Structure 1
Amino acid sequence: AYVPMISGRGLGHTGGTLDKLESIPGFEVALDNDHFRRRVQEHRLAIVGQTDHLAPADRRLYAVRDVTATVSSTPLIVSSILSKKLAEGLDALVLDVKFGSGAFQADAEAAETLAREITRVSCEAGVPCNALLTDMNQPLAWSAGNALEVREAIEFLRGDARHDRLSTVTLALCGELLCLGGLAPGAEAGATLARDALDSGRAAESFSAMVAGQGGPSDLLERPDRYLPAATVVKPVFPDRSGFITSIDTRAVGLEVVQLGGGRRRADDRIDPAVGVSGICSVGFPVDPDTPLAFIHAAEDAAWEHAAAALRAAVTIGEAASEAAPAIHGIIHGASGDEP
């Protein structure tokens, strides 16, 4: 199987895959068509951005959406996603359509509407497409920020630490795609194959080969501390009271990463890849004034203080533990139109 991916940059409070990958020294996302094709043929995987010859119109629209309050426009989301995906010449496509405070779609109903529209257009264009509906009313993993998320992805691939929600969504996406691509008899069997690739180290090897093939260090997975940028100020944030985390405003967390310099408020803003939040506690987790809610990575003390206040405000602490909603709300099967 071959996995070409044309991705984008951060929009609003959400991070962009290209911004994250560019926190890896030397990693090149602006490949021409021939170079892109060779990387996919050689490593079976490549992640690049739009160029003058790969979805060129979307690159311009993408930058404008971020600063014109049209990030959440359904038609523009559909066209942006599929302009890149269809340009890749895919045989099958599986998407993760998020909803909640950390997503463009506020609720599951809006996400389902978007997912049905994406899968419909994709199938009509000749590419079978399924979509997972996933809950972003709390962070999907422990980190938010470009280099911090790359570091967590490396730890995930190496098996050092795997967040339950991230594992659930990742394996489900892989399972659906392997099934849709004819490489597994069903989504569950596909997820088992994906788990085997993780546990055997093959997934880590594939990522490492992709990084090296696109100009990054060949030993990134072995020595991430040597290459990934680190913030000047890294300190824990403690809650003001004891109790259980009952909710997290994921949007507020994302906006604070932008405020720290990890995202854009204007299309021409430069990003600080080192800043962000790590070690984020999950919904249902018990906390007290000696238990960190998270660690904030900032460029200076004043920025850390502002982010710490925002993080405390984004986390609701109650007297009783509450169970987090499932990470996956449902699956839209484009060919059959199955309900979630």
Structure 2
Amino acid sequence: MRMYDLIYKKREGEELTPEEIDWIISGYTTGDIPDYQVSAWAMAIFFKGMKARETASLTEAVVNSGDQIDLSRISGVKVDKHSTGGVGDTTTLVLAPLVAAAGVPVPKMSGKGLGHTGGTIDKLESIPGFNCELETEEFFNQIEEIGAAIVSQTGNLTPADKKLYALRDVTATVDSIPLIASSIMGKKLAGGADAIVLDVKTGSGAFMQKQEDARELARLMVDIGSELGRKTMALLTDMSQPLGEAVGNALEVKEAIKTLKGNGPEDLTELSIKLGAAMLVAGQYESDLAKAEKRLRKLITNGQAISKFKDIVRAQGGNPEIVDNLDLLPQAKNIYELKADKSGYIENVTAREVGLVAMALGAGRAKKDDPIDPAVGIEVTAHRGEKVETGDLLARVYYNSDNQPAEEIQRLRDAYTIGSKKPEELEFIIDLIE
């Protein structure tokens, strides 16, 4: 085979065979095929797309490029969950203990945050002593004993994806649905779970801002999972405003604890229940979603969900006393209360801007090596559709700088749109794709 011929073939919109795709990914991983040729190939995919079978073959090649985790020694159907990223997306911190409390093994490998979306590992590392770097044997043992473990993505999993993503990032080919789908599903499949539930976000705070693009991505990832022998389901959910109230690492841990105790924000609670129910059905632990939802709500009510969260924190070296004393989590030195400067209805709270403000305060990273301040962030107390009067509280800004962050406060104010008419209610959970 010659890379030139395969670039030309894809440029002309023809379908590549599994053998051709495997040859490209293998050659790129080993360094035999140079960046400039893979860049041209990725750009051809960007413009010409890929068939579903091609994307599945690309995903399989990405999985086979490195190590794969074998979870077969852990009894039961192992179920994983992945979100395409959002603002205030605290669901993993709720779902892992909640679903594990239902008897489902949850092996969760997560990443650190970059840009306006938060990272699960950053949130967990705001818990004093919490260790996300478990050895493989520790990871397995914890899932067997407790039912869940949440760790950093480590080892030699999907090295082809790491190289390809870095290349896409500098060649304007990130926004290709087949390349996004193969990247996400490659990591999930290499992680070894038997079933996968996806939370595909759409709206201003999501990576896929157009609903039709998010739907296409969700459909493609479900098809890839099915093609490669994993039961896969996807929820298409709205991220036009922040999920819940907390945006920031320790703040989101506090909100997850409140949710597991049964007094969290309604939208975060409902999404966690819906995703958790899908995880139970995907893993064949329940026959239908309604029964699964009822079971999960009971686990919150009877205290088993928060008890499981405590177990996970304790097992991974964290201080479980945070559950009963939230003040043990990192606290910001200063709080600014953002208040409405006019009366009316909140027409919009632009999620992306809220995320970017939180990042600027130190809750997220613009570059991979930027430090994180676990205590800072934003608490969004007023949401789309609510009526406010002049002087009512819109949000709290948590910061550690000596000087008030005037620029960030103004940006947060600008993220709110207040008008005279109540806006139409948005569908929060848009669709379930199987």
Q: Secondary structure at the match of 1:231?
A: coil
Equivalent AA in structure 2 for residue 224 of structure 1:
L
Q: 2:357 aligns with which of 256, 260, 270?
A: 256
- Residue equivalent to 2:422: 321
- Residue equivalent to 1:136: 239
Q: Going by fraction, where is helix more abundant, 1 or 2?
A: 2
User: How far is the alpha carbon of 1:166 from its aligned partner?
Assistant: 1.2
User: How far is the alpha carbon of 1:301 from its aligned partner?
Assistant: 5.2
CA distance in 2, matches of 1:62, 1:297: 33
User: How far is the alpha carbon of 1:79 from its aligned partner?
Assistant: 3.4
CA RMSD of aligned residues (A): 2.0
Q: Secondary structure at the match of 1:9?
A: coil
User: How far is the alpha carbon of 1:193 from its aligned partner?
Assistant: 0.8
The alignment-based identity, stated in percent, is: 44
User: How far is the alpha carbon of 1:210 from its aligned partner?
Assistant: 0.7
User: How far is the alpha carbon of 1:307 from its aligned partner?
Assistant: 1.9
* CA distance 1:61–1:52, change in 2 (3 Å): farther
Give deviations 1:154-183, integer Å, cap 9, x for gaps. Answer: 111112x22121122111111111112111
Flag the structure with larger Rg. 2
CA distance in 2, matches of 1:18, 1:104: 19
Where do 4+ consecutive residues of structure 1 move more than 4 Å? 53-73
Q: Return 5+ residue gaps in structure 2 as ranges.
A: 1-103
- Answering whether residue 340 of structure 2 is matched by residue 233 of structure 1, we say no
- Answering whether residue 199 of structure 2 is matched by residue 96 of structure 1, we say yes
CA distance in 1, matches of 2:278, 2:337: 38
Which range moves more in the overlay, 186-195 or 88-97?
Answer: 88-97
- Residue equivalent to 2:136: 33
- Answering whether residue 320 of structure 2 is matched by residue 218 of structure 1, we say yes
2:246·2:379 contact (CA, 8 Å) conserved in 1? Answer: yes
Q: 1:85 aligns with which of 175, 188, 193?
A: 188
CA distance in 2, matches of 1:44, 1:186: 22
CA distance in 1, matches of 2:312, 2:409: 36
User: How far is the alpha carbon of 1:68 from its aligned partner?
Assistant: 7.8
1:283·1:323 contact (CA, 8 Å) conserved in 2? Answer: no
CA distance in 2, matches of 1:63, 1:280: 37
User: How far is the alpha carbon of 1:258 from its aligned partner?
Assistant: 0.8
Equivalent AA in structure 1 for residue 261 of structure 2:
R
- Answering whether residue 267 of structure 2 is matched by residue 165 of structure 1, we say yes
* CA distance 1:18–1:34, change in 2 (3 Å): same
Aligned ranges for residues 1-340 of structure 1 at < 5 Å? 1-55=104-158, 72-159=175-262, 161-226=263-328, 228-300=329-401, 302=403, 304-333=405-434
Give deviations 1:213-233, integer Å, cap 9, x for gaps. Answer: 11111222112212x111111
CA distance in 2, matches of 1:214, 1:67: 36
* CA distance 1:234–1:53, change in 2 (3 Å): same
Equivalent AA in structure 1 for residue 381 of structure 2:
I
User: How far is the alpha carbon of 1:71 from its aligned partner?
Assistant: 5.8
TM-score (norm 2): 0.72
Which range moves more in the overlay, 87-96 or 242-251?
Answer: 87-96
CA distance in 2, matches of 1:225, 1:70: 44
1:247·1:317 contact (CA, 8 Å) conserved in 2? Answer: yes
Give deviations 1:299-324, integer Å, cap 9, x for gaps. Answer: 22545322210111000001122243
CA distance in 2, matches of 1:275, 1:69: 32
Equivalent AA in structure 2 for residue 77 of structure 1:
I
2:340·2:390 contact (CA, 8 Å) conserved in 1? Answer: yes
> What is the aligned length?
331
* CA distance 1:225–1:4, change in 2 (3 Å): same
